[in-house]
Amino acid sequence: MSETIVALATPAGDSALATIRISGSLSECFTRDALSLPYPSPRHSYLANYKSNDAEVIDQVICCYYEQNKSFTNEKMLEISCHGNPIIVQKILSDLVCRGARLAEPGEFTKRAYLNGKIDLVQAEAIAEMISAKSLHAIKLARKNLDGNLSSIISRVQTGILKVRAKLEAFVDFPEDDIGSENYAEIISLVSESQLITESLIDSSNRRSILDKNLRVILVGAPNAGKSTLFNCLVGFDRSIVSDIPGTTRDYVSKSLIFDDLEIELIDTAGLRETSDQLESLGVDNTVELIEQSDMVIAVIDSSSPYPSELNGLLSHSIAPENFVIVENKSDLKKHNNPEKYPNNAGVITVSAKNKVGIRDLVKKIKEVNGFGKENTALEFSVNLRHKKSLEEVNAHLLNATSLLKDQQDDLIILSILKQA
């Protein structure tokens, strides 16, 4: 890792500011030669002119130098904040490459932090998880992993296994010593404790999977029930065309939204009805396909009209009843519905999309249905699929070892199993 690397740390494109990050031995040279700061104090911000190799001032910047062993990568680092014009950014990057740096590969700064012992693999993964998280709670869990919480718990399991191995190896090396039932009971207790920890982590992985999904919520219903009005109300602007003419939405419209701390894809679909219009019929077919691909179905009905029988067939399209919610729209009009005809176990919310009444209750229901209740928000650790697979292997070995210990089987066999854990 003798090469000095450089990369844009902020998103590409026009912006007020952009940050360029440099890591490697040349960082100190760049501070001196390009920024005219021969003796910068580490972790201090300086206002300076960035000069190219031919002494041309490219931009006035703010820079900060980090000494070795006290930076993110554990190498000498330099951060330069310049104006966010892509031309300026590209000119500075090109100049740094001319001075001996090379463009970093994706994730290379984090890779160097890991290889230099600044963070462990779990923490490195946590950085990627924070960037791609789909909810505020998923970000908080990733933050805990980055702080070392999960690594600390895994270390407890490793320490427990090592203690057991040490005791068993002592028994094997000194067979003349009487082991006694008390020693075996202590060993079984240590193994059981480690096994319970791994089981709890595996369980948290199963419950956390909902936090990683790009949740898809679909609005369905008869034409002119107010789906598009409700969609626009949730989105915050007129994305779908609103009309009194049934069948106005012939395909589907989608929008990514963030409700408090939950990111979802909200979809407005064609009205469900028998039609001779070929285009509208294709839109209805698409709606059925989208239902099967969705995490939650919101059936929008006109509460001032009789309940549409078409909705009763929706539950046959691979959607669990608990993920099916009926929204009684147009609550400002006289009610003319028959709740006894609603599908069993379907949640019911009453709203007026036109007057924006009941929308907060609907958002709350969306979060509940998609697993953002107390059970999942109480998670303390972010256990990904790689962690889960490794933990399941460890757990199987620990269960096997516990069984053999209780039967007082050969210590060498138990040791060989624990060495695999």
Are residues 228 and 332 both part of a single domain? yes
Say if residues 211 and 134 touch (Cβ distance below 8 Å).
yes
CB distance 228 to 283 below 8 Å: no
Residue 84 in domain = yes
Structure confidence at residue 247 (pLDDT): 45
What value does the CA radius of gyration of the chain take, rounded to a whole number of Å?
30
140 and 118 Cβ atoms separated by less than 8 Å: no
Do 189 and 254 belong to one domain?
Answer: no
Assign residue 109 the CATH number of its domain.
3.30.1360.120
What local confidence, expressed as pLDDT, does residue 370 receive? 67
Q: Which of 264, 206, 207, 195 is nearest to 389 (CA)?
A: 206
Round to whole Å and give the CA distance between 414 and 385. 28
Question: With contact defined as beta carbons under 8 Å apart, do 27 and 76 qualify?
Answer: yes
Q: Are residues 232 and 344 located together in one domain of the fold?
A: yes
| Residue range 118-145: mean pLDDT, rounded | 89
Residue 239 pLDDT > 50? no
- Is 322 within the bounds of a domain? yes
Tokens for 176, please give them: 């003349």
Q: Alpha helix locations (H) across 174-262?
A: 180-212, 227-235
Rounded-to-integer distance, Cα 30 and Cα 65, Å: 10
Residues 205 and 219 grouped into a single domain? no
CB 227 within 8 A of CB 311: no
Identify the burial level of 365 via C-beta atoms within 10 angstroms of its C-beta, where 0-12 means exposed, 13-18 middle and 19 or more buried: middle
177-209 tens-digit pLDDT: 665 555 778 888 899 999 999 998 998 886 666
Mean pLDDT of the 282-310 span: 79
Asked if residue 28 has pLDDT above 90, the reply is: yes
Convert the pLDDT of each residue in 367-416 to its tens digit: 887 665 544 545 667 788 899 999 999 999 999 999 888 887 888 888 88
What is the sign, positive or negative, of the torsion defined by CA atoms of 21, 25, 31, 34?
negative
Residue 314 lies in a domain: yes
Per-residue confidence (pLDDT) for residue 373, from 0 to 100: 52
**According to the model, what pLDDT value does residue 333 have?**
80
Which H helix or E strand runs over 17?
A: strand 17-23
- For the stretch 71-106, pLDDT in tens is 999 999 999 999 999 999 999 999 999 999 999 999
Q: Which of the listed residues 118, 150, 178 is the one where a domain comes to its end?
A: 118
Q: Which helix (H) or strand (E) holds 257?
A: strand 253-259
- For residues 415 and 45, give the distance between their C-alpha atoms in angstroms, rounded to a whole number: 55
* pLDDT of 343 strictly over 90: no
Residues 87 and 187 in one domain: no
Return the number of other C-beta atoms located less than 10 Å from residue 156's C-beta: 12
Give the predicted TM-score (pTM) of the model.
Answer: 0.72
Statement to judge: residues 219 and 205 lie in one domain: no
Contact 369, 347 (CB under 8 A): yes
Q: Are residues 246 and 287 in the same domain?
A: yes
| Across 118-127, 194-203, 266-275, 309-318, least confident range | 309-318
- Does residue 359 share a domain with residue 220? yes
Instruction: Measure the CA–CA gap between 350 and 362, rounded to whole angstroms.
Output: 8
In a domain, 82, yes or no: yes
Q: Is 380 within a domain?
A: no
Q: Are 344 and 326 in contact (CB under 8 A)?
A: no
Tokens found for residue 302: 């006109």
Give the pLDDT band (50/70/90) at residue 244: very low
User: 361 and 287, same structural domain?
Assistant: yes
Which among 83, 118, 153 is the end of a domain? 118
Q: Which helix (H) or strand (E) holds 414?
A: helix 411-420
Residue range(s) defining the domain that contains residue 17: 5-118
Rounded average pLDDT over 222-237: 84
**φ and ψ at 354, to 5 degrees?**
-65, -40
> 234 and 370 in one domain?
yes
Q: Report residue 248's pLDDT band, with 50, 70 and 90 as the boundaries.
A: very low
Q: What is the pLDDT of residues 148-163, one digit of tens each?
A: 999 999 999 999 999 9
Number of domains in the chain: 3
- 205: domain CATH number is 1.20.120.430
3-class SS at 376?
A: helix
- Look up the CATH number of the domain holding residue 348: 3.40.50.300
DSSP assignment letter at 156: H
pLDDT at 205: 80
**391 inside domain:** yes
49 in a structural domain:
yes
Q: What is the pLDDT of residue 41?
A: 95
Mean pLDDT on 282-306: 80
For position 240, what pLDDT does the model report?
A: 44
Pick the last residue of a domain from 118, 139, 159.
118
Which segment of 53-62, 87-96, 212-221, 250-259 scores lowest on mean pLDDT? 250-259
Same domain, 19 and 105: yes
- Tell me if 381 is assigned to some domain: no
Residues 328, 181 within the same domain: no
